Amino acid sequence: MVMARRLASTREAYGKTLVELGHENPDIVVLDADLSKSTRTNLFAARFPQRFFDCGVAEQNMVGISAGLAASGKIVFASSFAVFATARCFDQLRVSVAQPRLNVKIVATHGGVTVGEDGFSHHAIEDLALACSLPGFAVVVPADAVETAEVIRAASVTPGPFYIRLSRPDTPVVCEDGYCFSLGKAASMRQGSDATIIANGLMVAEALDAAESLAGQGIECRVLNMSTLKPLDEEAIVLAARETGAIVTAEEHLRQGGLGSGVAQVVVQHDPVPMSFVALTDTYTHSGKPQELLRQHGLTADGIQSAIKSVLSRKG
């Protein structure tokens, strides 16, 4: 039986955490590019207008201004939608932020296809590949609103550039209150020895649902919340490969350059085991309701179950 979970907004958690941080640390500054109502940086703007800068619809400029502020000692949070915060200003992220390792936290909302009806131009499906390719960037996809608050706090006290990807819709809460995020450490969500599902973002909830159904069929899956894509928790991956002998990854992103390829690199280097990837395959997407789109692309508990059965059939 799959249980119903409480839904909560990762964006709202971000905005609220920013306000808390703003009270605690006068060096926190926040920028946005005409999307502050959507990214919820408007909560910070209302409280700390002198430390909030709306750059208008100009993401490249926003990233450059962020770099200048960070080079002058500020802890900078800059937000837009995930498509615009990466692809639109990739060279600016590369030259102005990543290479000099400046203290800029790009917090992008509207990640993945669950943006829904707005269609392909707004579906960020390459953003994690882009962000992960930048040397020195930490890349995090929180599983839910609880983890989001933790991740934002951690980023504020960890020097260097971050890319943090949040969702548009309210998403199922999978982390317990009091959950403690540790950068670069996977969180074990369920024990199991037949196979491991490694997921992040809203796919963690799907992974847990899949594991629950599979348990009913006598298949016990380990579930890891791999919220940190970079630096990747190699130890947890190697243990999963050794102890469960089969791995499925699940992400709301293209198959290339995200969680699946990152995990696969670790697995082939250390302990090759059968793997399967639940992800988008080399395609752009269409308008639709978030749940419809997830289903259309197999980004569901059912999709994960099929993938598990596939890896188990190949397991030695």
Partner 1 sequence: MVGGTELVKEAHAGSSGNLSASAVLSSAEALPSMAPQDTEIEDLQRMAKNLRRHVITMIAEAGSGHPGGSLSAVEIVTALFFRVLRHRPLEPGWPGRDRFILSKGHAAPLLYAALAECGYFDVAELTSLRKLGSPLQGHTDRTRTPGVEMSSGSLGQGLSFGIGTALAARLDSQSYRVYVLLGDGECDEGQVWEAAMAAPHFGLDNLVAIIDHNKQQIDGWNSEVMNTEPLAEKWRAFGWEVLEVDGHDIGQILAAFNHAEGVKGRPTAIIAHTIKGKGVSFMENNPDFHGMAPTREQAAKALEELA
| Min separation Cβ 100 and partner 1, Å | 5
Marked catalytic residue, from 59, 126, 147, 251: 59
- Note whether 11 and 1 are within 8 A (CB): no
Which helix (H) or strand (E) segment holds residue 307: the answer is helix 301-314
- Note whether 30 and 52 are within 8 A (CB): yes
What distances in angstroms separate CA 150 from CA 142, 156, 280, one per listed residue?
A: 9, 10, 28
Residue (77 or 181) nearer to partner 1, CB: 77
DSSP β-ladder status, 138-140 and 228-230? antiparallel
Helices 234-244 and 259-270: angle between axes, nearest 10 degrees:
70
Alpha carbons 281 and 206: distance in angstroms, whole number: 18
Residue (137 or 277) nearer to partner 1, CB: 137
3-class DSSP string for 241-261: HHHHCCEEEEEEEECCCCHHH
The residues that touch partner 1, with contacts defined as CB under 8 A, are: 29, 50-51, 53, 55-56, 58, 60-74, 91-92, 94-96, 99-101
Closest-CA residue to 66 (of 141, 133, 139, 162): 162
Alpha carbons 113 and 120: distance in angstroms, whole number: 8
Residue (66 or 225) nearer to partner 1, CB: 66
- Note whether 229 and 258 are within 8 A (CB): yes
The yes-or-no answer on residue 59 being catalytic is yes
Residue (90 or 181) nearer to partner 1, CB: 90
Q: Which residues on neighbouring strands pair with residue 280, listed in sequence order?
A: 254
Residue (67 or 275) nearer to partner 1, CB: 67
| Min separation Cβ 151 and partner 1, Å | 24
| Min separation Cβ 19 and partner 1, Å | 18
Peptide bond into 274 cis (omega under 30): no
| Min separation Cβ 110 and partner 1, Å | 21
Residue (68 or 231) nearer to partner 1, CB: 68
Task: Please give the positions annotated as active site.
Answer: 59
